[in-house]
Structure 1
Amino acid sequence: MILFRYLTREVLLTMSAVAGILMLVIMGSRFIRYFASAAEGDFPVTILGSLMFYHLPGFMELILPLAFFLGILLAYGQLYMNSEITVMVACGMSPTRLLRVTLLPASIVAVMVGLCSLWLTPAGALLNEATIEEQQSRLDVSVLAPGRFQSFGSGRTAYISDFSSDGTEMQEVLVHEQADPDSDNTHSYVTRARTGHQETRVETGSRFLILEEGERYGVTPGRREAERLTFERYTLRLGLSRNRQELDSLEFATTAELWNDPDPRAQAQFQWRAGLPLMVFILALLAQPLSRVNPRQGRFAKLLPAVFLYVAYLSLLLAAVDAIGGGSLPSAVGVWPVHGLFLVLGGLLIWRSQRKGMR
């Protein structure tokens, strides 16, 4: 029992360190992309935390299998380097028993990956996409940044110099409306106002930008004359307020919906989600014999070949998913031959390790 706890702790601690590093790199890259979009005014900075949180399950389902695979390689490789495996062999430890010890943390990781891939990832992706679509489909005072020209859809661009102290009223507003090529009206309009604010009509859900004390110019490219309108109050209709964006992509469908959908693309998505927990156990079979190194070689001697093996596994899975979605591979066959191939390879490596012993 003491040896079992020791090995499990070593694997999980190493896996946690690797997962933390990978998560930091991937989430940092995603955060930079979202921050750039927020700086452009696509959505307010205040929802960045929610967007990153919604992406977390999708990151976890891909990072945890790789982190667990590398965790076994590094943890057991260090044990070989320190000759601790030699002591375990002298005490009666065999490759089969070591594999049984490895399967418990593999089960924990597989449950976590299954929760993410089968439930949390599609739910988070739906919430993430709905949040972005809702923010991009409406003009909100919180989206606009002073001193910047920002597009807010329908060929409109807005510029404001500042906000009022309570943040509800815009100062020195400039709105440019580009001419619609599909209509007979060839005018482009430039509206300038001293102040402006947004209103929503509760009964209709329509949103309006209310501009006060300004001028509106209508010009046609190539013509010298222009229309000029002076106003005290001008109302510009923005669109309808939406509580939720309806999305029907298979990426956002629940696992139960994919199971009942005979469409090949739905079956490909379902098999991808269901195969990720199985992938954890197969990687455990592959990692244990690959972690065996000579102390003179170093613990990283087989790390690069192992990473190549993982990349090949993942690439074949993705290719099979694409083939099922495209109809070139029957969904009844699916991705399971890929899992079976690497399962057999892991079994052969374990058998070879048992023949040679753990010396």
Structure 2
Amino acid sequence: MILFRYLTREVLLTMSAVAGILLLVIMGSRFIRYFSDAAEGDIPVTILGSLMVFHLPGFMELILPLSFFLGILLAYGQLYMNSEITVMVACGMSPMRLLRVTLLPASVVAVLVGLCSLWLTPAGALQTEAALEEQRSRLDVSVLAPGRFQDFGGGRTAYISDFSSDGTEMQEVLVHEQPVAGAEKTHSYVTRAGSGYQETSMETGSRFLVLEDGERYGVTPGKQAAERLTFERYTLRLGLSRNRQELDSLEYATTTELWNDPSPRAQAQFQWRAGLPLMVFVLALLAQPLSRVNPRQGRFAKLLPAVFLYVAYLSLLLAAVDAVGKGVLEVALGVWPVHGLFLALGCLLLWHSQRKGMR
């Protein structure tokens, strides 16, 4: 029991350090991307935190298997360097017993990965896309920046000169509406107003841009005639709240929906999600014999080959998912041969380590 706690602590501490570094790098990269979009006025700054939280499960489902794999390599490699494994062998520790000890924390990591891949990641992706889609479908005062033309989707472009002191009213507003392809209206409208503000209907949820003291021009390309409207108050409908059910991509579908969908694309997505927890156990089986190093070699001697092996595993898995989705591979066969291949490789390496001994 003492030995089990010691080995588990070493592996999990090393895994946590690696996972923290990888998560910091990936989250930082995504945050910079979203922050750049917010600086351009594409999304409001207020939803940046929510977007990062929604992306977290998708990052963790890929980071945890890799960090656990590296955690075993580095932790056990250090034990070999300090000759602690030699002492364990003298006390009756065999590779199979060490594997049983390793599989216990692997089970915890696999549960976390399965929780992310089967439930949290698709839910977070749906929330992220719904939030971004809502920003694309409406003109929101919170993302407007004075002195800049900004595109808000639907063929609309807006410009304001400044905000009022309390930030609720816009000054010198210009809105250009380009006809959308396939729409009945062919006019291109330009609306200018001295001021404007945004309001939301409590009954329908519709959003409106209320413009005051301005003019509205409508022209049709190729025609000399034009429309001109002078108004004291003009209400421009920005759009309704989007229903999340419109986001029907398989990436956002629940695992139950994928299980009940017999299409190759749905089954490929399901096998990808279900295969990630299995990947944790296969990587644990591969990492144990790969962590065996000579004290003269150093603990990082087999780290680079192990990383290449992980990249090959993940690349073949992604290629198999793509092939199943396109119908090149049979759904019944799926991605499981890839897992079987590396499982067999892990068993071969473990057998070789058992035969050679843990000296």
Which residue matches 1:133?
133
Higher mean alpha-carbon deviation, 115-124 vs 198-207, is at 198-207
- Post-superposition CA distance 1:160-187 (Å, at most 9, x none): 2222233321122122233567679765
SS of structure 1 residue aligned to 2:142: coil
Aligned 8 A contact 1:130 1:245 in 2: no
Q: Structure 1 185/5 Cα, relative in aligned 2: closer, same or farther at 3 Å? A: closer
SS of structure 2 residue aligned to 1:249: coil
Higher mean alpha-carbon deviation, 5-14 vs 219-228, is at 219-228
- The 5 Å alignment of 1:206-245 reads 206-218=206-218, 229-242=229-242, 244=244
**Cα offset, 1:100, TM superposition:** 1.1
Which residue matches 2:82?
82
Q: Structure 1 287/253 Cα, relative in aligned 2: closer, same or farther at 3 Å? A: same
Q: Structure 1 204/118 Cα, relative in aligned 2: closer, same or farther at 3 Å? A: closer
2: distance between equivalents of 1:184 and 1:72?
A: 63
1: distance between equivalents of 2:300 and 2:254?
A: 40
- Post-superposition CA distance 1:293-312 (Å, at most 9, x none): 11111111111110111111
- The 5 Å alignment of 1:1-359 reads 1-178=1-178, 188-218=188-218, 229-242=229-242, 244=244, 246-359=246-359
| Sequence identity (%) | 87
**Cα offset, 1:43, TM superposition:** 2.0
**Cα offset, 1:201, TM superposition:** 3.5
SS of structure 2 residue aligned to 1:257: helix
Amino acid at match of 2:199: E
- Post-superposition CA distance 1:323-343 (Å, at most 9, x none): 111111111111111111111
Higher mean alpha-carbon deviation, 182-191 vs 119-128, is at 182-191
1: distance between equivalents of 2:321 and 2:243?
A: 34
Q: Structure 1 135/179 Cα, relative in aligned 2: closer, same or farther at 3 Å? A: closer
Q: CA RMSD in A?
A: 2.1
Q: Structure 1 94/40 Cα, relative in aligned 2: closer, same or farther at 3 Å? A: same
**Cα offset, 1:145, TM superposition:** 2.0
SS of structure 1 residue aligned to 2:246: coil
Aligned length: 359
2: distance between equivalents of 1:305 and 1:10?
A: 22
TM-score, normalised via structure 1 length: 0.93
Q: Structure 1 192/314 Cα, relative in aligned 2: closer, same or farther at 3 Å? A: same
Aligned 8 A contact 1:171 1:196 in 2: yes
Amino acid at match of 1:118: L
- Post-superposition CA distance 1:171-220 (Å, at most 9, x none): 22122233567679765443322210123334454432111122334567
TM-score, normalised via structure 2 length: 0.93
SS of structure 2 residue aligned to 1:86: helix
Amino acid at match of 1:168: T
Q: Structure 1 274/213 Cα, relative in aligned 2: closer, same or farther at 3 Å? A: same
**Cα offset, 1:49, TM superposition:** 0.7
For structure 1, list consecutive stretches of 5 or more residues without a partner in the other structure. none
Q: Structure 1 199/333 Cα, relative in aligned 2: closer, same or farther at 3 Å? A: same
Aligned 8 A contact 2:193 2:211 in 1: yes
Q: Structure 1 2/206 Cα, relative in aligned 2: closer, same or farther at 3 Å? A: closer
- Post-superposition CA distance 1:84-110 (Å, at most 9, x none): 112222222211111111111111101
1: distance between equivalents of 2:184 and 2:85?
A: 81
For structure 2, list consecutive stretches of 5 or more residues without a partner in the other structure. none
Aligned 8 A contact 2:137 2:238 in 1: no
